[in-house]
Amino acid sequence: MIERTLILLKPDAVSRGIVGEVITRFEKVGAALVGMKLLVSEKDTAELHYREELAQRRGEKVRQLMISMITSGPIVALVLEGVEIVEVARKMVGSTEPKAAAPGTIRGDFTHISFNHADEKGIGVFNLIHASASPEEAEVEIAVWFKPEELVSENRVDAHLIR
């Protein structure tokens, strides 16, 4: 099943200069890059991304901290395409809490901040990256960050293996 997923490289990933390395990891597993842009998120776009459902699950305070974090500097928004790429990307990204992320995952290899530390500082968790949780969520999230005409269809050498 060919899917698309949204990946956001958050301000901490951009400021640390690891964007290329993270993108390379996705390319190495065969994910096709079909959309990419560097931007500073407007607050209204961040609010669309961190929808009301987040407030219902984790509280409005957490939602506002996440909005503040994602708008604090440049981000790189990516759309990846591949076989069951939503699940593959989530595994590659690792646990939401960086200190709990397994070695070998993006968060496990590049950060270690805990929820407790973020709470103590009164900040959102700087955990480098966002990956859509489901194909349905990916569809909604991609529409927040990309217009349809900003996405391309990739003509891959290995297309006969995945299509």
- The percent helix, strand, coil of the chain (3-state, each to 5) is 50, 15, 30
CB atoms within 10 A of CB 59: 11
Q: Which residues pair with 75 in a beta bridge?
A: 39
- In the sheet with 32-39, reading across from the earlier edge strand, the strands are 32-39, 75-83, 2-9, 129-131
CA dihedral 149, 93, 17, 32 (to 10 degrees): -40
Residue 133's nearest CA partner among 100, 105, 93, 162 is: 93
Which residue in 49, 112, 117, 130 is the catalytic one?
A: 130
Closest CA to 6 of 135, 102, 128, 150: 135
Does residue 130 have an active-site annotation?
A: yes
Residue type, 49: H
Q: Which sequence positions are flagged as catalytic?
A: 130
